[in-house]
Amino acid sequence: MMDFRGKKVLVTAGTGGIGLATAIKFRSHGAAVAITGRNAETLNAVASGHGLRGHVSDASDEESVRQLRSEIEESLGGLDVLVNNAGIAGPTGLVDSLDLEDWEETLKVNLTSQFLHVKHFVKMLRCSGTPSIINISSAAGQHAFPGRAAYASSKWAVIGFTKTVAAELGEDGIRVNAVCPGPIDGPRMRAVMEAKAAMLAQPIAEINMEQNRVSSLGRMSTAEDVANMVLFTASSLAGSVTGQALSVDGHIEKLY
């Protein structure tokens, strides 16, 4: 059932978008929820406003993640669900125009951060009776995405990481899945579409229409759509679901 009373949940990058929607949803189903963010003022305002526990942390920095583990042990007293949500959009441009620094930063935030949290929290998860890890990937991790090589590569890698870790941790009863959102209506996606319009020298209205056409439903998904899938994946209803890449995209077959 979708009952998380008594469960302890950590959502990285939980001050907005998918992260916040997921944290609020877990909280509404009875879980004790901690979120992370890099800006203390924003984090504290969001956490206090939604009954969450806020922890300042840089998801892609190992020492920061080590410190977070100690804080979570103290504040939650354990962990049942880890949601690796931290991510950035990365650069937009054809591959020969990308800067190495932007490429490496995208992989660091979108992929390495997930490795660091699994590495440092898996011991805690082994002590849970119902452990689950949900890694946020993307439809861009399942399809070619011209102009978005860094982002797409990082999200394809998340799925490979997820499947491998699911195989490694299955004997511990830890389920590991990736959730793959399509384009999400919000500030980040609007910025990506503006950058794409500039790259292609096309009107933003045309880019918006093209974006909606890639989905069979003819629209973008919402952060709450993704949060619902994350909760299902973490719940007892998905007790035999592991090593999967679960799409929440309105049925997308291509991104261009």
Which residues lie below 8 Å from residue 92, measured CB to CB, with a gap of 6+?
A: 147, 148, 192, 195, 196, 199
Look at residues 162, 36, 13 and name the one whose alpha carbon lies nearest to residue 89. Answer: 13
> Which run of H or of E encompasses 199?
helix 187-200
Q: How far apart are CA 91 and CA 108, in angstroms?
A: 13
How many separate helices (H) and strands (E) can be counted in the chain? 9, 7
The pair of structure tokens assigned to 110 is: 């979108």
Q: 4, 103, 115, 151: which is the annotated catalytic residue?
A: 151
Phi and psi at 133, nearest 5°, equal -120, 130
Look at residues 60, 76, 184, 71 and name the one whose alpha carbon lies nearest to residue 119. Answer: 60
* CA 62 centroid distance within chain: 18
> Which run of H or of E encompasses 136?
strand 132-136
Q: How far apart are CA 162 and CA 160, in angstroms?
A: 5
Q: Is 151 a catalytic residue?
A: yes
Q: Which residues are known to be catalytic? A: 151
